[in-house]
Amino acid sequence: MFTSVMPDIEAAGRLLKRLGYPIYLKYLAIKDRTDMNLRAPVFIVGAGRSGTTILGKCFSILPYVCYLYEERELWSTIDPCTYIQRYMDGKPLDLALPPVQSQQQHRMERIWHSITAYHNRSLIVEKNPDNSFRLEWLHSLNPLSQIVWIIRDGREVAQSVVRHSLKSGTYRLSPFRACHPWWGEGEIKWKSIVHSCQKHDIYCGLVNLDELTEFEKALIEWLFATERCLHFRNAHPDTVVAIRYEEFITQPDKTWPALMDSLGFERNENVEKYVRHNVRKQTEYTEFPECREMILAAYQKMCCRLDEVVTVG
């Protein structure tokens, strides 16, 4: 009996956090702490399941970093449309987002200053794959911010998404509502990807295919997220530092110091020791589900474009 009510208790806890945390963030947004000397933030991006978590974990150990892990509630205080999986309107979103308003910029600055003041840190680093879709919007919040883009093979990403979804099962937003662990309530994330592709005339032929498998949908998401990152990198080459997942996993003792140097960060012996002993591949994918030729051709074309991206390491 106790076991049967645990999911509802956990969901109720998430609901309380969801109701209370935004109120706290809104309080921070009006609290003036802009007198602090705060460094420009760093955002870790890349398609979901690309290795942003392990990369972010390494950043979190740096003594001067205030690390934020997918702070979707924080972003939703700036614009509710940023919280894709729980957007309540039910209508598909343009994931690129409209231009930033001045009041949004000021609100974000106050939140950043308040959070770093509380933790006594000088630099915010956040990892959030959703930011891959809205890099221009993110950049306009703070043009001095830096982007760390981690690149992983698209088929591995898609297979990892499918595995994650099957392992996680249905995610409960509250004791009364549940949603898909990857695509959100009513598959709002997937619908928003379709809407965004159609609006920006990217991969329209792929998202309109009938009866897409979970693997195919995940591979299309990778294509769209990677396209957005490439587009932003071409427009702002000095803002983006790219790193390959495969090189980071197989040669962490070489790739991590190179990343620190590229960002102009102080190296830390304890972090480098952690990286050497803990960064490794968790799951090896050797076989992949069948995929329609049209989607596979787009994947192969993207791989060729990614070969031209200069990365650290």
Please write down the HEC assignment for all residues of 249-288: HHCHHHHHHHHHHHHCCCCCHHHHHHHHHHCCCCCCCCCC
How far apart are the C-alpha atoms of 1 and 247, rounded to whole Å? 48
Task: Provide the residue count of the chain.
Answer: 313
Which residue's structure tokens are 């703070």? 142
| Alpha carbon separation from 256 to 16, 115, 171 (Å, rounded) | 38, 26, 34
Give the end-to-end CA distance of the chain in Å, rounded to a whole number. Answer: 53
191 part of a folded domain: yes
Q: Which of 122, 113, 120, 69 has the alpha carbon at shortest distance from 265?
A: 122
pLDDT of residue 92: 83
SS3 158: helix
| Domain membership flag for residue 245 | no
- Determine, yes or no, domain membership for 290: no
15 assigned to some structural domain: yes
Domain presence at residue 282:
no
Task: Give me the residue label for tokens 């991206």.
Answer: 309
Number of domains in the chain: 1
Measured distance CA(105)–CA(109) in Å, rounded: 6
The pTM (predicted TM-score) of the whole model is 0.86
Question: Domain residues for 218?
Answer: 2-236
Q: What is the pLDDT of residue 235?
A: 96
**Domain of residue 210, CATH code:** 3.40.50
Mean pLDDT by runs of 10 across the 313 residues of the chain is: 42 47 50 62 97 97 95 82 65 82 84 84 94 94 96 97 79 56 87 94 96 97 98 97 97 97 96 96 88 97 97 90
Assess if residue 70 is contained within a domain.
yes
Instruction: Give the separation between CA 201 and CA 112, rounded to whole angstroms.
Output: 35
Q: What is the pLDDT of residue 268?
A: 96
Q: pLDDT at position 36, please?
A: 53
- In a domain, residue 109? The reply is yes
**How far apart (Å, rounded) are the C-alpha atoms in residues 248 and 250?**
6
Q: Which residues pair with 172 in a beta bridge?
A: 178
Would residue 264 count as lying in a domain?
Answer: no
Burial per residue of 203-221, b for 16 or more beta-carbon CB atoms within 10 angstroms, e otherwise: beebbeeeebebbbbbbbb
In DSSP terms, 104 is beta-bridged to none
